[in-house]
Amino acid sequence: SISGLIRTALMNMDREAKEYYEVIIQAKDMGGQLGGLAGTTIVNITLSDVNDNPPRFPQKHYQMSVLESAPVSSTVGRVVAKDLDEGINAEMKYSLVDGDGLDVFDINTDPNYQVGIITVRKPLSFESKKSYTLKVEGANPHLEMRFLNLGPFRDTTTVHITVEDVDEPPVFEPSFYFVEVPEDVEIGTTIQTISAKDPDVTNNSIRYSIDRSSDPGRFFYVDITSGALMTARPLDREDVSWHNITVLAMELNNPSQVGSVSVTVKVLDVNDNAPEFARFYEAFVCENAKAGQLIQTVSAIDRDDPQEGQHFYYSLAPEAANNPNFTLRDNQDNTAWILTRRSGFRQHEQNTFYVPILISDNGRPVLSSTGTLTVHVCSCDDDGMVMSCNAEAYVLPVSLSRGALIAILACIFVLLVLVLLILSMRRQRKQPYIIDEEENIHENIVRYDDEGGGEEDTEAFDIAAMWNPREAQLVVKNRQDMLPEIESLSRYVSQACVMDNNVHNYVLAKLYEADMDLWAPPFDSLQTYMFEGNGSVAESLSSLQSVTTDSDQSYDYLTDWGPRFKKLAEMYGATDSSGALW
């Protein structure tokens, strides 16, 4: 009452029972005697937490279930232990302390919600074990020694986990196959038996097949019921030495359940390829070569790969064993030397020799082949440098053929340009045939099946040809938009008619030219005349030099010309007062 110090009045206060207190303090003057003045204040008191409450599981038994197909690390369930404390005093650590599933399951603590999460540690199998029992402990990691007498600060619970059955795909045993097979194995030989079974209680029948994407060449076949893996095509180590195929197993009653296994097939080598020259060999021998001179070193290759390594043996073929010109020396290092046996080679006597060489390997069985060395006789200088030989005659043109061809084509192109230029210049120098203006009277007789285009139609013919009759024979402008019908004028002209000899010959020549050219298209024909013809049945059709006018001219005579002029007669014939044509 004198110092104003606030003290606890009770012992063993419990924050979990009451955490907040409100105290009203009164202060009086005059020593607290009557007549003194007083003042009050409110003091709020909060109890801080201590770890004086051990954790407790709300239930002593948990029942959980999990599918046997649950992957590793998947969650099975959660357990939680209650602690009335708060903060660090309420932190929890969970662990598995007993049970038959300690190696199958695991438990982790969620730091945010202080719950224990049980997860799958290993793959489950309903067929192997259907249930597990776990003993889970929850404990406070932070303890206060003064409150240990209130403990223990840990608690346990029992978790029973049931594994549920799932229809699983077939399982192969073993999970991987490695097979070695020789490359000369016969087709249909069983190289391995693949085995799979249904892990479910029902134990359904299994059907086997090969994933064709893993065996695009279809070298293997698997029996659908027994799983026997067999060869379906000849194997060749030199082409494909390893095969990685996938065999599938499917449940007969549930085709959606499919298992797979990898099968690696190694093709073992068999001596089935004879050695042969590494390349085409062609040698040259000088005419002044001496006996015993080295002219070529040969080597061989073999596609086989024997375990003891490759070794080749060289000798002259039996038909050339007594070759008087060349001999062979095996170097015992998979190479051989070809040497001259004599001197005095002459190009004019024989310019090419063929030396057959027998090459054998060390395989079982021994295989051999015959290669041919081509030897050309050449003339050489004193230092042994080749000067000329028959092979040169064949090699030299090949090396120069491209350049020579380009040069020839270039010359031909230049000559063609010059010829075209000369012809063009000569044509331009020709003087045009000039006719007096007063005598320039021409007639064009052209028949079309359709109406012309008027003044804007500039495609019918070249007007320049009318001013130069000679050029008309060379330049004829064809219309591409119509195919007119051209009829010979000789049908309408009597053979007894008297006409100018030059015009007659010109018309006959053009007629003969048109009749003989069977491939000429029926385009427009332009006939140019220097003057009017005489002797026509219809006389002159031209209105030139006519002194009459359209109103004075009578066209009644057109009706007497026959049916060919009927159209003109209807167009120009006289009409009576009623408007009928006469």
Q: Could you tell me the residue ranges of all domains in the chain? A: 61-164, 171-268, 276-388
Average the pLDDT over 184-191 and give the result: 93
CA 302-304-310 angle, to 5 degrees, is 65
Per-residue pLDDT at 576 exceeds 70: no
At residue 518, the pLDDT reads: 67
Most confident of 80-89, 96-105, 558-567: 96-105
Per-residue pLDDT at 321 exceeds 90: no
Per DSSP, the chain holds a count of helices (H) and strands (E) of 5, 27
Average the pLDDT over 314-330 and give the result: 91
Return the C-alpha torsion angle 175, 180, 185, 186, nearest 10.
-10
Is residue 342 within 8 Å of 324, Cβ to Cβ?
yes
Per-residue pLDDT at 465 exceeds 60: no
Phi/psi-derived region of residue 6, left when phi > 0, alpha when psi is between -120 and 50, beta in every other case: beta
Closest to 448 in 3D by CA, of 483, 397, 500:
483
Least confident stretch, 190-199, 480-489, 520-529, 571-580: 480-489
Over residues 65-79, the pLDDT tens digits come to: 999 989 999 999 999
Closest to 283 in 3D by CA, of 267, 296, 265, 269:
296
At residue 521, the pLDDT reads: 56
CA 203-204-206 angle, to 5 degrees, is 115
At residue 13, the pLDDT reads: 84
Closest to 345 in 3D by CA, of 324, 327, 329, 328:
324
At residue 525, the pLDDT reads: 57
At residue 363, the pLDDT reads: 86
Per-residue pLDDT at 22 exceeds 90: yes
At residue 224, the pLDDT reads: 94
Residue, of 463 and 496, whose pLDDT is higher = 463
List helix spans (H) across 290-434.
390-429
Per-residue pLDDT at 233 exceeds 60: yes
**How far is the C-alpha of 85 from the C-alpha of 54, rounded, in Å?**
8
How confident is residue 566, by pLDDT bands cut at 50, 70 and 90? confident
How confident is residue 484, by pLDDT bands cut at 50, 70 and 90? very low
Per-residue pLDDT at 216 exceeds 70: yes
Q: Cα(first)–Cα(last) distance of the chain, in Å? A: 159
The DSSP secondary-structure symbol of 148 reads: G
Phi and psi, residue 33, nearest 5°: -80, 170
Is 0.85 topped by the overall pTM?
no
Cis-peptide, bond into residue 174, ω within 30° of zero: yes
Per-residue pLDDT at 152 exceeds 80: yes
Per-residue pLDDT at 63 exceeds 90: yes
How far is CA 80 from each of CA 83, 109, 118, 121, 134, rounded to the nearest angstrom? 10, 10, 11, 20, 15
Average pLDDT, the chain: 80
Question: Which fold, 171-268?
Answer: Immunoglobulin-like (2.60.40)
How confident is residue 573, by pLDDT bands cut at 50, 70 and 90? low
> The tokens 């209650």 sit on which residue?
82
Domain 171-268 and domain 276-388, same fold? Reply is: yes
Least confident stretch, 270-284, 317-331, 435-449: 435-449
Over residues 285-297, the pLDDT tens digits come to: 898 888 999 999 9
Percentage, residues of the chain above pLDDT 70: 77
Least confident stretch, 184-188, 372-376, 488-492, 533-537: 488-492
How confident is residue 463, by pLDDT bands cut at 50, 70 and 90? low
How confident is residue 401, by pLDDT bands cut at 50, 70 and 90? low
Average the pLDDT over 170-179 and give the result: 92
Q: Does the domain formed by 61-164 have CATH 3.40.50.1820?
A: no
At residue 234, the pLDDT reads: 94
Per-residue pLDDT at 265 exceeds 90: yes
**How far is the C-alpha of 82 from the C-alpha of 157, rounded, in Å?**
12
How confident is residue 541, by pLDDT bands cut at 50, 70 and 90? low
**How far is the C-alpha of 51 from the C-alpha of 142, rounded, in Å?**
8
CATH of region 276-388, choose from 3.30.56.10, 2.60.40.60, 3.30.420.40, 3.40.1390.20: 2.60.40.60
How confident is residue 243, by pLDDT bands cut at 50, 70 and 90? very high
Least confident stretch, 148-162, 366-380, 394-408, 457-471: 457-471
Least confident stretch, 244-258, 306-320, 462-476: 462-476
Phi and psi, residue 261, nearest 5°: -145, 145
- In the three-class reduction of DSSP (H, G, I as helix; E, B as strand; rest coil), residue 238 is classed as coil
